[in-house]
Structure 1
Amino acid sequence: MTLAQAERAALVETLRGTGPDAPTLCDGWTTRDLLAHLIVRERRLDAAPGIMVKPLSGYTERVRAGVAERDFDALLTQLASGPPIYSPFFLIDRVANLAEMFVHHEDVLRGAVQADSDWTPRTLSPELEKGLVTPVKSVGKMTLRSSPATVVLRTPDGTELTSGGHGPRVTVTGPVGELLLFAFGRAPVTVAFDGDAEAVASVRSAPRGF
């Protein structure tokens, strides 16, 4: 089983436990909405482009809303089975879906967590942490390029994974999984900021993600 498959299976089990109406970190989406998004992404070739292409997003959302009305358990079965053979993700699941499954799994796990609350993220295996390094580098390079400071993503051992933006340097330090969530604009995340106070404040409040 690949890391992407393992994280998919873990996400499915978490969704079974939360049910269809739990909150997520995706604004306005319940777990049912998030599940429908994942199904559309892998199985509706006519609608999936609108996930990334804004002019097509209206159609994508209508399709996603329709999918969300289906039986929750049936949708879970589809997600658990992985991308169908006709999906562009069928051959690249290992590469393209690890970050997707991880981030959305955390969207569910952290959906009811308040950003300023006392909470502890799950402990990731060394294998999963290693597997998430490449997504941190690629995603961070894209989402940090417009940052109001030069943001450097660094692991606790001092390894700098990627950077982006312009201006004074702000170092964001945390485990690989937390850095990926930060790069995607998720909160809460357990990272530490180092740099000029004004620059840090601007980075913390700046939008990230796609």
Structure 2
Amino acid sequence: MTQAPMETLALMETLAGADPAARTACPGWTVHELVAHLAAGAKENADLIEDVLAGRPTRATRSFDEREAVFVAMPDEQLRDELARESTRKLAAVDALAARGPDATYDFTGRKFTAAIARMHGHSEAALHRWDIVGDDEVGETLLVAPELTRHAVEVLNTLPILYEAPAPRARAAGVSRLRVVLRSPAEPDVVLAITPDGARFELRDVGDTAEGDAVLTTDTAHRLLAIWGRGTPQHPVTIAADPRLWATVAAVLWGSAS
């Protein structure tokens, strides 16, 4: 079986010393509730992949609340054991799917996932949720600057509107129908959050293809990835080139508040 990736290993090491009652950067979640989310997600993915491998009929992905409730109710020690068990199941299932070829897929939250996408989503989730627990540190910086995580964020957020971090839900929550925000990091391709009356999506430009927008935010690569996922920290400087009257709107779209 494929060895657990470095993002997962770093997350597990962080969880080993984390207080289950501690608050996280995920709104309303303690560490225990975040672990329940991870365990439930691993189980759901494993179940769906195993159905495909066994030739069973496919089913819709269960909602977050439906699949997470049983894990939230567990004592924390049992929950940690379940996270390890379900994560191992998921890794094995993804390996088995990969063995069927690069085009083999399963349905997850309304779209097709290949083994490669599932693995990258796992890398991304582990890196982000580790940050949700510990915030800024050297390990997190190393994980979050990986360019493949930015590419994955743009792709998956555009195709999984069920996520509250997806562009359309963020635009609706902020009450914004037209805005173009460029997220820029030195030596990296620009990412654009484009909102129009017809919808909202992220765009990843080519290196050297400078984007234009109503606002241009420049920050480091790790913090830009956090912003794409609706997260932020005052420890990372941000410069903004825009009409000052737009600042509150940009903040509302990116971080859910005007502050």
Q: TM-score higher than 0.5 here?
A: yes
2:226 equivalent among 178, 181, 186: 181
AA partner of residue 227 (structure 2) = F
Whole-Å separation in 2 of the counterparts to 1:172 and 1:82:
41
Q: Does 1:122 align with 2:167?
A: no
**Corresponding residue of 2:61:** 49
Whole-Å separation in 1 of the counterparts to 2:191 and 2:3:
20
Alignment of 1:130-169 (within 5 A): 130-138=147-155, 143-144=166-167, 146=171, 148=176, 149-157=179-187, 159-166=189-196, 169=214
Return the offset for 1:136: 3.9
Whole-Å separation in 1 of the counterparts to 2:25 and 2:5:
22
Q: So what's the TM-score if we normalise by structure 1?
A: 0.72
Q: Identity, % of aligned pairs? A: 24
AA partner of residue 119 (structure 2) = R
1:197 equivalent among 238, 241, 244: 244
Kindly indicate whether the alpha-carbon contact (under 8 Å) linking 1:170 and 1:193 is maintained by their aligned counterparts in 2: yes
Q: Whose radius of gyration is greater, 1 or 2?
A: 2
Whole-Å separation in 2 of the counterparts to 1:176 and 1:139:
18
Aligned residues: 195
Whole-Å separation in 2 of the counterparts to 1:90 and 1:76:
22
Residue 85 of structure 1 aligns to a residue whose secondary structure is helix
Return the offset for 1:206: 2.8
1:94 equivalent among 119, 123, 137: 119
Whole-Å separation in 1 of the counterparts to 2:6 and 2:150:
17
Whole-Å separation in 1 of the counterparts to 2:147 and 2:25:
24
Q: So what's the TM-score if we normalise by structure 2?
A: 0.60
Whole-Å separation in 1 of the counterparts to 2:215 and 2:167:
11
Alignment of 1:20-35 (within 5 A): 20-35=20-35
- If asked which structure has higher relative contact order (CA below 8 Å, sep 6+), I would say 1
Residue 163 of structure 1 aligns to a residue whose secondary structure is strand
Return the offset for 1:122: 3.2
Return the offset for 1:164: 1.6
Residue 171 of structure 1 aligns to a residue whose secondary structure is strand
Kindly indicate whether the alpha-carbon contact (under 8 Å) linking 1:32 and 1:68 is maintained by their aligned counterparts in 2: no
Q: CA 1:126–1:24 in structure 2 vs 1: closer, same or farther (change >3 Å)?
A: closer
Q: CA 1:156–1:166 in structure 2 vs 1: closer, same or farther (change >3 Å)?
A: farther
Q: What per-residue deviation string (whole Å, max 9, x for no partner) do you get for residues 3-49 of structure 1?
A: 98100110111111223222111122111111111111011348993
Kindly indicate whether the alpha-carbon contact (under 8 Å) linking 2:24 and 2:30 is maintained by their aligned counterparts in 1: yes
| Gapped regions of structure 1 (runs ≥ 5) | 51-55, 111-119
Whole-Å separation in 1 of the counterparts to 2:121 and 2:32:
22
Q: CA 1:126–1:28 in structure 2 vs 1: closer, same or farther (change >3 Å)?
A: closer
The alignment yields a C-alpha RMSD, in angstroms, of 3.7
Whole-Å separation in 2 of the counterparts to 1:206 and 1:174:
17
Deviates more, 1:121-130 or 1:93-102: 121-130
